[in-house]
Every structure is written in structure tokens, then in C-alpha cells.
Structure 1
């Protein structure tokens, strides 16, 4: 069974058709217990195999997706493509980089951007073309125009094909796109993180014809209703660092939001996960929810979730919940957006 909902990317990648739902690979390796290759491979294949002929699945990785901020995720991908070479052309690979080696601090110096792109290609070992590179965060030490200009030069050298941006403001997205067409912008979009700037980026991207890769559409699993208390999160899981998950008071308060969404999902006859992905997909023709899963069955279910069409009444009900519910805790560490380099 193939998905029905497809879209295209933006900018220089506007001719590329992808499924309306992508696949985030972060938690396959950014964990004390990485997913076994055979399990991860089946999960990736399940998503790709759901695509219609000629349509790619967007898969999202990063140079630093491991507890040591190393290239474990890319190395996993290189082993996947080595074992299943036919899948290289069936996926559109977006990779984040542009941070200091061994850490998450943004560094948009020309030397580090070249280093980052070169390191990503080295980790892939020629098994897959780097389709899109994006700086994970905006480095405030350099202008956006500088950052995109450097990346445009690397594109001309043939090191990768398309430029993306991540966790940037709408103003920065506009500035970057004026230097070189931006194919996609990656931001968090879900029912408990609908910040004013989220809406600004969505609106600007639609105006400029840029795809929005919407990460954490399930609120890092919280919106599925499967987590009942902070202790349900495994030891060593990165979510234990985030204030919404680690603070018991916030956790319990925010469960009421989940319960309200579950009511709509039950009335619709779908899971909360499918409802949340369908909602994010409804926010624009080029909005691509990016759930992550290491389970093949769940990855296939996620890929089909955008095929669920929500009525105006259902969308109005979801927006009423979002607009009337005060979520406790910020998206990351509880100390403001600057610490996580958000909306650069």
C-alpha cells in the first residue's frame, strides 16, 4: 500500500517529489543504546517502500547525532546504503551540520562549514549523494547572508546539491533565500509548540515557496499519549534534559492537552499520533512532518498519516485547544530560547 499524499521541495529542489511525511533518524543513534542495524534498516525501508514510484522519502540526519556528538547516524546510513544501494536514489537525504566538532555550538566560519560538509561526505563513504545540507542553528557571529553565501560556494564546487536552514527566524529565512534559493527550512511544529515565530516561519516559507520540514510533530512522543510520567522515559534518553519532560509538575499539567487531542482522535477513529501528523501536514502544501521511529510498522503508519484528511470542524477543534491551552515549560532546557540557539 503506497501513500497518496506527496509534495515537492522548494528552491533549487522544487522539481523533486517527496512523500508528505519524512523520516527523522536521530533517535536511532542519539541514545546510550543505539538501534541495531537490522532493525534500523527495516524501519528506513518501510518508509521508503511506502512511496509511490518516482517519489522519494525525505530522510533527515545530522553530523552530530550521537551522545558524543559524533557521526554515528551517518555511519549507520552509509552501512544501510551499502547493503541496499537501490535505496540511495529513492531517498532525499537532508543532513544538519555547521557546529563545532564534538559539540552543538554553532560555527558558521567558512573553515568550519567546509569541514562539516567534508566530514559528512566522508562518513557517507560515497554510498549516497548529500542532497541537502543545513546549518543546525544560526551562528550569531556571522550574518545569515555570509552563511548562505559560503554554502552556495560549496554547492558550486559540487559538494552537495541544495541548501536548507534550521531553527531560524522568518526574517533570517527571507535573508538567506535572497542570497540563494532555500530548498527547505527545518523547525519544530506540533500542537504544544505553536509559538508566534512558528507561524511566522510557516507563513514566510509558503510565500517564498520553501518546504518546511516540521520536526517533532509528535512532541518527541509526548503527544501520542504513551508517556504517563517522567519515569516512563528511559535512563540516558535526551528528553530527560528537557524541562517539559523532567519537571513532574509540567509533565502532569501538559497531559491534559494530550487528553483533549485524544478525544478528537477517538472521534475520528485514528490514533493520536496519526491525528497529530495529519494536523501538521495540513498547515501547508509544502509542510512535511518529520516523525522519527526505529520500528518498521510504525514508520509505515507514520508515512501514511498525511493521507488522513481533517475536516474544518476537526481542525478548528485542534486550533481551539492550541489557542486556549497554556503549555508549561519551554521547548528545551527551561532557560530561554537563546541557550538552545532557537529562532536565530
Structure 2
């Protein structure tokens, strides 16, 4: 049974979304040969008809093909049924060659490109995907503020930003949402970033709430992705063989608790995120309708305070082996941008 998708207010600026969103990255990114546009549009439409109306993409997914796919899926009456979020800032392929940009000219060009690919007049929520550590966040925000005033975007978000960057950005124009990795095995944001968002009335969007599939399928998910196994193990240290052997015990315990609760491990892990508060919206991704139905079912899983304590004890931050990303792939949630005074007039 899918359950009922309630609505929540994301942040304090007026944006209302489904309490669970749909991350669309996997539909066109890395795994593209296995998915046809028609199949993915069917998944998107099923999500919308089921009450999942908060759709998440980025110009770097593909790159560009994911936004084009969403544009096709949202033709006609579908557009008015959703809250559409996309991102800018990553200017090349993922990995060592990745370039991050937040200068005004790039911000504007990126927005215009996304509007064209999505085939919409306005983007509901526009995130800076990663913060440009060479450009003061105030400069980036000023251009985003102009885009709001011009009606090209409705709300502004940040992804993987530090607490100090969030504060500085919010002082220029209210930030509606911060997207961050938050799950049973990624909890470092709880110390400083989550409290900062709550102090400022900023909504929280949890990406990879299932640990990139680990909390739904366990270690076998790496084997199931045989064509991309090297990619997963190289980019995400938690999937290195020596770390995976340790981390599988977390999945085993999650599975045991899920069995007692009468749900799947994925539903239990998602329910844990939902129980963090009504200001939190997880955006699990999937390419299968059956998995989508199971994810929606997580909204019906009720966890007691004792359940929460047990889950948080077995998946505490220091119990997970391996970093979220390889060392060369900075996550930006501890990075700051230069002070505004450093920005030269000729820029």
C-alpha cells in the first residue's frame, strides 16, 4: 500500500510541497542506457498522480538531458501540478574536472538555459548546486535576487552549503531551502547546519536519504551495478570493500528492525528522515514504479521514541566507515566564500 502523501510548508517563504519528493538524477545520469524517456515519464506521472509533486533535477544531470526529460514530462496540465526544483553551479563533468561557478553572468546564463530545457516560464525553487569558493556568496545571491524580481524563479535554495554561507546568503535574500545529504548513515549536518536552517526558518531537503541505495538493498546494490561498480567504489569510500564489509552490519540491523515494524529497510530508513520534523522533505530517487510505491509507503510507518533511539544508536556518525565522497570531491558543507570586500569592482 502506498500510503497518503501529506503537504508541508518548505521554509517560511511560502513554498508548499509534498512531504516526500522525487529525485530524478538516476533517470538520466550514469544509468541512462537502461531507461527510455517513455518509461521515466511514466514514473514521473505516476508519482504526480500519487501525490508526489516536488520534483528535483539539475542542469548537470546528464548533463542537461534530465531537465529536457522533465520538460517533456511536464507538458500541458502537468506543469501546474508540481513544484519544480533545479540547480546551477556545476559547470562540467562530475569528478576531478568539475568546475564550480557562481559569478553573475554564469548564474543568469545557467538560469536561462534551464528555463529553455525545462520549457517553463518560471522555476519554483532554484538552488546553487555547489558554492563557488572564489565568489562571495553575496554576489551570487544578488543575481539570484534579480531573477526572482524578474519572475524567472520563485524561491532560492542552496545545496551543500556551510552554516556561515547560509547566514550570509540569507541576509541578502531569504533562502527557502537547503539541500543536504541526511540519512541514517550521513548525520554530520545535525550539529550545525540543521540548527542554522531552523533558526532562520529555512526548509531542509534531504538527498540520498537511502544512502545511495545502501539502506534499501545493502551491499548487494554495488554488485547489482556491475557496469558501474568501479565508479561507485572510487567516488564513494563507503563502498570500498574494506568499508563495505563493516557497513553491512548497519544494513543487517536496519533490516531486523524493519522486519519487526512490518516494513522494508528502505521504508524504515525513509521514515526515520520523515520523523526529523515537518520542515524536512526527503527526495529519494527511483526509476521503477514499484520502488516509488514503497517509498510513499514510508509515510505511513510510525516510529516511537524508542525506535528512533535504537536506529540512531546503530547508525551513529562514528559507526559508519568511509567518507561520503572521495577526498578530491569536496562536499562544500564546510567551505566558505571570500568576503564581499574582496570582490573587485572590475568583476
Match of 2:249 in 1: 256
| Aligned mates of 2:17, 2:136 — CA distance in 1 | 31
Q: For residue 17 of structure 1, what is the aligned residue in structure 2?
A: 16
Between 1:228-237 and 1:248-257, the stretch displaced more is 228-237
Whether 2:174 is the aligned partner of 1:175: answer: no
Give a deviation string over 1:81-121, Cα, whole Å, max 9, x none: 23xx2221111111011222566421011111111101101
TM-score (ref. length: structure 1): 0.89
Equivalent in the alignment of 1:43: 43
Within 5 Å, give how 1:1-344 maps onto structure 2: 3-12=4-13, 14=14, 16-32=15-31, 33=33, 35-51=35-51, 57-66=53-62, 70-82=63-75, 85-100=76-91, 104-126=98-120, 129-195=122-188, 197-228=189-220, 230-236=222-228, 238-244=231-237, 246-323=239-316, 326-333=319-326, 335=327, 339-344=330-335
Inter-CA distance 132–320: structure 2 relative to 1 (3 Å threshold): same
Offset of residue 239 of structure 1: 2.6
Q: Hey, what's the Cα distance between the residues in 2 that align with 1:203 and 1:167?
A: 15
| CA RMSD, 1 decimal | 2.1
C-alpha separation in 2, matches of 1:92 and 1:315: 30
Q: 1:34 to 1:110 in 2, by over 3 A?
A: farther
C-alpha distance in structure 2 between counterparts of 1:86 and 1:263, whole Å: 43
How far apart, CA to CA, are the structure 2 residues paired with 1:101 and 1:142?
18
Q: Give the Å deviation of 1:322.
A: 2.3
How many pairs are equivalent?
A: 329
Equivalent pair of 2:209/2:283 in contact (CA under 8 Å): yes
Structure 1 gap ranges (5+): none
Structure 1, residues 1-55: CA drift from partner, whole Å, max 9, x if none? 662532111243x2x332211100001000252521221112112221122xxxx
Take 1:72 and 1:34, find their aligned partners in 2: how far apart are those partners? 14
Mean CA deviation greater in 304-313 or 322-331: 322-331
Where does structure 2 lack aligned partners over 5 or more consecutive residues? 336-347
CA contact (8 A) 1:99 1:136 kept: yes
Taking the aligned partners of 1:98 and 1:243, their CA distance within structure 2 comes to 21
Judging changes above 3 Å, is the alpha-carbon distance between structure 1 residues 143 and 263 closer, same or farther for their aligned structure 2 residues?
A: same
Contact 2:209 2:273 in 1 (8 A): yes
